[in-house]
A and B are shown apart, each in its own frame.
Chain A
């Protein structure tokens, strides 16, 4: 059971986990995206299920496991003042004012809320043309407060103003360098370069904002792609790159030169605060847990982690552990020195 994952000059120390299984309130329902504000506030979008669409929402909480509320059960449709519900809630991103932008991958629109979850506006035109949305998945704001949106269905990456005016875009469907196969998550590093999780091609690609390909993050093990349908990517202040290797139930960490340096498998050895509240109300669950000899080994692991984000101020990595309805938090020690061998 590894609670610390080490690579040359750095270590990732497991901190804690946040969440529990829950269709409302203090819990998550198939969380698929995450955004971190500067003040330790986090937003998670919950895809939920068609069987229980009431669980589709945005959950707002803090890194210290304080539940702040939920919103987005009703966003605003483009061109309409009438509220509508999300179908496939997907990416979430925060502008400099702290407003929350939430994509709907099926309805092909972006709904905008203030930080308290009050709906402000909505935009997006469904279509395959320039400036149109086709399966909007991951989203990220750049330094100029413009929003980059990943079109998963037609493999386009597009830049918009905050009110949805198209600025630029690049990408097409395919396997070649600079092409994508149903891309998903996006990250923008400190230099303004873009990282795109190229889901169907088992890789992450790095670009300039102009769309020039810079680097590909992928490697092979025994002749097979090591990444299996990566869903999201984030980058820390040192340039290390974190990829949610979704179908392999892990996070792969690459150094800035795209060399794989470490893997995270999940370390949720303890029950989260919200989870403990649920257990306290169900003493039989507590008793049943005592019967399980390898409880921690089972409990700690990621299952289909779909998203991640990195808080560069506080050096915290947040991994959305989708099928376990929680977020696992790691702290990076980026001045890590190995101890002496003979201790």
Chain B
């Protein structure tokens, strides 16, 4: 345990959300402790993320948070020095039929209204952007050039380093086992290695956050949803945006992939039906399934070689949006979880938002964002661009 036992804020989870949150809080002068049960930063779900970062969502709150995140990721190296492999390669949702074309086009006005730089490319323009996309029955697709990608592990390590430099304490291989409250207020946190006083606790434990919620009698609707991803050998640059194909196919409800600056293709599917649970063993279905989708979307990749696959979990919520902010009846207990596989791209935005919340310096848009992402919501809306 840490020698220091009194903290302004204690964060459970040194992952995609916990590390940037620790950084912004430490930068704002708070005494921060981050506790994680794993041996180093980002070893829960962060390292399984493929690195895509987009502001192109259908929910205004997520657009706000991710726009903030892009601003932070894109300036990180210039400001703090670490190369987190940020690249503004853009995102493209591709359409091969009327329904998907309409779904994508219908969102454009709202997205532009929220300041997003996003356009519709017709078939020819799209083929110019991504010459190797399968042209057969291609309609076109969106293109949001300011979206991009970065290395989840390098970024969370950079947040960790900079947070630590500003006094944040990181305790690894340590498990939160209890959160003590008094008169409706957080008092202290007990781990398997020690006991720490604080009046502010942030549950940023992602897929594992429901377990921490139960320590204060909270039933968090966050469930682990298993996903697999893969990476190929490095080949010469072929295309820059993340390509998202939201067509449903047997076994998968979508498919997305991009070419990393090193030349490797990184790909992922959303299994259909979803597979619930803390499952980390590779399935026999994933390689054939994702290979078929790679060939279907970009036939040239048939000759590329897959190098590695892996599996991790999304902390899923009923509506596909995160759960953020304070809860009723327990002062000092904050939520920053349920990112539904978007924790990496949301992380810096969430970190800054919670810092403003704790500082008491929220601006109006942030207040609205917290309102729509509160725990006590209706769970009716649904993310359209999963």
Q: Do A and B bind each other?
A: no
